[in-house]
Structure 1
């Protein structure tokens, strides 16, 4: 018993449990051994235990006996089934002789419920819901403060300090002596305490700023900052953690935070008279993303907010184009594809769009739509939605055609599904109307879904295409990070994280002739239509939530630290339990890809 207790104390997350709890677990646990090649459990079982590997190695197989994971000593398996109260769907088999410790389900679930750190390790790592909206009562100071604040020593002259503030375009700087913040210099202080008193430009800032400025830790709430400002009639509050000057919050920061809402964006876009006005609006998108993530909004809400802004910018540009060019000669429809089409834009987005024209359009009319497309695409680029690297834009004549030509495009891709056709079809299945006559697209969408779903060869090619992006899983419970280049040793959370799930959702929509373009809506519609099982849909939705939110949290952190957001996450920045859950999410995706591939092979 003592030996078993000691063993548990060395295995995460059991090492977070008190000794008396470990002794209770040891007394209830059941040892078991399996020889190499033996099946520990198969599909359809209701698990009665959580399996902890003391020594040896176990492989996890999908229902088709395709390996999806290797689990080695000091790790466990079976937690997902116990926590979700579902039967097993695959096989677990000993790779070598394995020694297991079986912990009864009721004991394991008790530990999850009663011990926070233990439960946090196994429970989904999505943040608890926080009241949405730009509410100072719920946002942390760390999410609105200016980081890496300007600071000087007390012997710097007020003239030099003023010049530094001017050059850095800031309204304050901290005065630090021996690593400790002793005061603040602000534009108001320079005016009232120096200029109005006629002090020499050579006066030291330490003589002007005073001592012991009011400060708050970064864990404070926005309302704490506001209260300090109101009580002390100051416009700047320094943020100090463990004696270290880490940030500054100004009255402007507070005002800007409260003003950054999607409604404010849409109102500002409606009032925009020039493309440059729209560009000023979209320049605030990173701040909206960071604040939305900080306030606890889910990834589906955040990406919808950001996409709504892209839609608004596009609609305003279309109206501007019509105001400049006059009314269109025939009805038309501007559509978005890619992440905008799916309403899944983040802080990193290029533009993907096209134009569908009424079949009554004449060659003479085409000049009008060329000018309209150029105006809108150029405007989107100026607003930060850079030109598509693959030229998938309405400014390209190929993607600016009458509906009859679009019908021919889709028919050709379905009938001759070569790799290029697969790529184009994948993009075009995410189409969503933005501005114009929606009826131009509705019949075409239904026709294309029906035609494509009936063509088994096309479906098989779409399945194959959806498997090209693999989750970044390595050996020995590690990650397969990027091996070289600018993003070496990082995870591509777009192409190896989100995209594999997006591709799966697209195939499910095709198989079920489902019209939603949004990935989450596709997954839920696929479950309702019986395209995938309830357990498979649930697992994939959970995996999508975790992967997409990890990506957004990464981008929000970059924005707060003054960096341009990207999709490349360093596993070293994640906690141990975050890495474990992320790997579990990738395993779910791999399992669903394997099931889809097997279904294709069986059908063939």
Structure 2
């Protein structure tokens, strides 16, 4: 039996003597040296960890989100829900009691008081995670505009229409009100008005709506702040206002949608995606993500948070689109993948499509070419440009059976030409967004099993890290002639970090896909020291922020590239940019030494 367990710590103080004996007999013990992982990112837990001595830190993107000392327990989310995108690392030499999940469940079932506290703790952790995200997003929403909220399309009836006609129009259009046209003026009649007039006042349903409508509309321009809409609704005690654009009615803003936008703006877009009944509905929801990104960015929300949010929304959009264009049997027998920056969860504004489809062995879909072509075409209509390398589901090379993917993986590893290395890198970053995710799990498992310890292979795979020049020391003054030249920030800074880290992660057979997550996982494995890991994570975030700013500033242009102009930066940004490029050069030297690239 492990060292004495402290039953005075809640919720274990609620256990009976017999239950304490049961718990004590089932306990195991874990010993963790300083800086070693206790529970890795996205790792499912089969026990509850209770710290007996030492300190465990919960880390997210390299930052400490929580700390657990003697008597504290973790992680109920990994035990009962989806494993969070966090890791738990021993901050000093640590000993934990390990309580198996089945025993915890049985104790919670048998002892309602104990079970209630366990449930409350689980719910509290979920609320804390939700509040952290909500608070950061709310800071941005103080500047949110009406155009970023969901507007209900206006439904019109003529003044001569009857109450029955108005009710039918609301039902058909799933609206809660109609706008009444009476010559040059426009009024409004709501569902509540209909109820009061017919049920309470007893008016016949053949009564004309013209005299019953209210013609003093409460209007607000689409570019006004959402908070101004809230003030108007509060002042006039109404549940909806009319939104105008260029002097014309653009739609109606309902109170419920306004409150949803102000409480969690991303949820409005997510709701639009979930409710989309057509590709046109989905296109409109997709267009709203750009406004959300702008709002979050201009109000200072950090790029990692924006990327997390956009990743969730994009994957919802891709999943819903696939559900709309694919028949149920295809959904059940395939797995839709996103790859590249989208697979890594690092896509901000809409970039090239990088997707594929794994089909179950033996399954055939006669209409597959049309379905995959429609999927790629709709994404292009949503603003995602076709991939120049044709890495899309519409290309049969990226829509094929699981066995065919395994054959491709074998060739990428054992015949590593330039194209094979690119394909392997893209596939290694893949994430499943729809269909049977087990198909990707099996393909990725095959990839890991086929990897050997052949240093020559990993050297070839890592070599593109050095493919592009990374300038440094260019910007001594604002008027430096070289500093005035545009720099491709992706080639000079972002790609070397992404691919260098990807090569190190692949060598260690790691399953993380996000670059920052890979950085900290490599630090946990002591491939990178924690100081370098922190500097790389910060540099990657800063360079991504500069890239996003350049893209937002250039969003009105037809072509959006990755160039930044140091001479146009503030001195602080320019100095930090120069420091980041110097760090990238040092990291490239580290990768070169690690993989012996100078020897090939």
The residue number in structure 2 matching 1:399 is 398
The residue number in structure 1 matching 2:374 is 375
The residue number in structure 2 matching 1:291 is 295
The residue number in structure 1 matching 2:594 is 599
The residue number in structure 2 matching 1:350 is 352
**2:590 is aligned with 1:586:** no
- Superposition pairs for residues 487-498 of structure 1, below 5 Å? 489-498=485-494
Q: 1:224 to 1:451 in 2, by over 3 A?
A: same
- Superposition pairs for residues 247-396 of structure 1, below 5 Å? 258=262, 261-322=265-326, 325-328=327-330, 331-361=333-363, 365-396=364-395
Cα distance in 1 for partners of 2:464, 2:279 equals 38
Cα distance in 2 for partners of 1:583, 1:449 equals 37
Q: 1:257 to 1:473 in 2, by over 3 A?
A: farther
The residue number in structure 2 matching 1:84 is none
1:164-215 per-position Cα deviation (integer Å, ceiling 9, x unaligned): xxxxxxxxxxxxxxxxxxxxxxxxxx99xxxxxxxxxxxxxxxxxxxxxxxx
Cα distance in 2 for partners of 1:271, 1:296 equals 30
Cα distance in 1 for partners of 2:541, 2:582 equals 14
Q: Number of matched residues? A: 380
2:506 partner SS: helix
Contact map agreement 2:335 2:434 (CA 8 A) in 1: yes
Cα distance in 1 for partners of 2:475, 2:489 equals 20
Which residue of 498, 501, 513 maps to 1:502?
A: 498
2:432 partner SS: strand
Shift of 1:568: 2.5
Contact map agreement 2:134 2:263 (CA 8 A) in 1: no
Contact map agreement 2:473 2:578 (CA 8 A) in 1: no
- TM-score relative to the length of structure 1: 0.56
Q: 1:263 to 1:223 in 2, by over 3 A?
A: closer
Cα distance in 2 for partners of 1:269, 1:226 equals 24
Q: 1:371 to 1:482 in 2, by over 3 A?
A: farther
Contact map agreement 1:304 1:345 (CA 8 A) in 2: no
Which residue of 549, 553, 561 maps to 1:553?
A: 549
Contact map agreement 1:543 1:585 (CA 8 A) in 2: yes
Cα distance in 2 for partners of 1:390, 1:492 equals 20
Cα distance in 1 for partners of 2:506, 2:409 equals 13
Shift of 1:372: 2.8
Q: 1:469 to 1:544 in 2, by over 3 A?
A: same
Contact map agreement 1:470 1:500 (CA 8 A) in 2: no
1:308 partner SS: helix
Shift of 1:598: 1.7
Q: 1:331 to 1:563 in 2, by over 3 A?
A: closer
Higher relative contact order (CA 8 A, sep 6+): 1
Contact map agreement 1:373 1:394 (CA 8 A) in 2: yes
1:359 partner SS: coil
Contact map agreement 2:474 2:480 (CA 8 A) in 1: no
The residue number in structure 2 matching 1:428 is 427
Q: Which runs of 5+ in 2 are unaligned?
A: 1-132, 148-183, 186-223, 243-251
Q: 1:517 to 1:224 in 2, by over 3 A?
A: same
The residue number in structure 1 matching 2:528 is 532
2:370 partner SS: helix
Shift of 1:481: 11
The residue number in structure 2 matching 1:89 is none
Q: CA RMSD in A?
A: 4.0
Q: 1:544 to 1:482 in 2, by over 3 A?
A: farther
The residue number in structure 1 matching 2:537 is 541
1:523 partner SS: helix
Cα distance in 1 for partners of 2:331, 2:536 equals 46
2:403 partner SS: helix
Cα distance in 2 for partners of 1:132, 1:333 equals 33
1:335 partner SS: strand
The residue number in structure 2 matching 1:51 is none
Q: 1:437 to 1:551 in 2, by over 3 A?
A: same
Cα distance in 2 for partners of 1:491, 1:406 equals 37
- TM-score relative to the length of structure 2: 0.56
Cα distance in 1 for partners of 2:570, 2:433 equals 41
- Superposition pairs for residues 23-422 of structure 1, below 5 Å? 131-135=135-139, 139=142, 258=262, 261-322=265-326, 325-328=327-330, 331-361=333-363, 365-422=364-421
